Amino acid sequence: MKICRTIDELKQWRKSQTKSIGFVPTMGALHQGHRSLMLKSKEKSELLVVSIFVNPTQFLAGEDFETYPQREDSDFAICERVGVDCLFLPTKEMMYEKDELSVLAPAVRSYTLEGTSRPGHFDGVLQIVLKLFNLVQPQYAFFGKKDAQQLSMIGHMVNRLFLPLEIIPCETVREDDGLALSSRNVYLSKTQRVDALQLSKSLRKASTMVLSNIFDTKAIIDEMHTFFEDSDDVAVEYIAIVSRSFEELSAVELQNTIIVLAVKVGKTRLIDNLWI
């Protein structure tokens, strides 16, 4: 595994490659969800590049940038076992300067749901992803469906900036009890982890309702809210039912619907979704 700690090292490695490249950008604290993205990449492309960079521009004031989990040794071990060909480890000073270029997410779609709770977040996401795409120059990039709005924004950027790569959405990986894997799960206490299971349970209830031909989005959302009423340590930020392009729906549309939710369990903010 080639480890590139500078942009010049990455550029030199990239110049010598002629095979197809799959790319998995991460913020580290790697888990089985990241591993599944890497394995998907190895199925579709000849070489695998992974980046680890905790991107400051997508964190808002008061969020967990300074305490975001970092586990370099275990991250390296996971990458080695999967068979990563190149691991890119940039620093903030390499990726940004004081008088930095801005990337602005779409004005309407980026200020709904995640954007309402985290204004400017998607500007920072698109800024760093565009930089990484330009450096790695992959044919394919792999992102999890759990971050559905992020996935939609990145796909839109690739399409509208005519970037020469394909975005590959990958299924959410869950624990045996249904909790979606997230690097932030380590923040949860034992009690909070039990509370966090209500996210996936509420989504399973929504799925059952759709399978029973209940398509009214208000009825589904109201039912999902009941899963969070009994805990004082849980606060729902939003539950919404949207199209794949993140337009609000009044009725579920098969093959074009995502049920999304964001919930704070204690101080830990968790997101999850169901694609229908």
Pairing of strands 21-26, 47-52: parallel
CATH number (domain holding residue 244): 3.30.1300.10
Question: Same domain for 136 and 187?
Answer: no
- Distances from the Cα of 30 to the Cαs of 75, 90, 185, 224, in angstroms? 6, 16, 12, 30
What pLDDT shows up at residue 107? 85
| 161 to 129, 133, 164: CA distances (angstroms) | 13, 12, 9
Q: Are both 218 and 112 inside the same structural domain?
A: no
**Inter-CA distances, 97 with 31, 61, 64, Å:** 31, 19, 22
Residue 29: per-residue pLDDT: 92
What is the enclosing helix (H) or strand (E) of 152?
A: helix 148-160
Sequential DSSP letters for 43-58:
HH-SEEEEEE---GGG
- CA–CA separation, 73 and 3 (whole Å): 13
**C-alpha–C-alpha distance, residues 63 and 155, integer Å:** 25
Q: Structure pTM? A: 0.94
Q: Which residues of the chain have pLDDT under 70?
A: none
* 155 and 232 within one domain: no
Per-residue confidence (pLDDT) for residue 85, from 0 to 100: 98
Same domain, 16 and 147: yes
- 77-to-36, 132, 144, 183, 233 alpha-carbon distances in Å: 15, 22, 21, 16, 35
For residue 78, what pLDDT is reported? 97
Would you state the pLDDT for residue 70? Answer: 87
Go through the chain and tell me how many residues it has: 276
Regarding whether 151 and 43 lie in a shared domain, the answer is yes
Residue 97 confidence (pLDDT): 95
Structure tokens at 264: 């704070």
pLDDT, tens only, 45-80: 999 999 999 999 999 888 889 888 889 999 999 999
**Same domain for 82 and 132?**
yes
pLDDT at 81: 97
Res 117: pLDDT = 82
Does 177 fall in a domain?
Answer: no
Does the residue 262 lie in any domain? yes
Catalytic positions, written as ranges:
34
Q: Structural domain of residue 246, as residue ranges?
A: 183-270
Measuring CA to CA, which residue among 260, 237, 235, 262 is closest to residue 248?
260
Rounded Cα distance between 121 and 213, Å, is 36
In the chain, the number of structural domains is 2
What confidence score (pLDDT) does residue 109 get? 84
> What are the tens digits of pLDDT across the range 159-203?
999 999 999 999 999 999 999 999 899 999 999 999 999 999 999
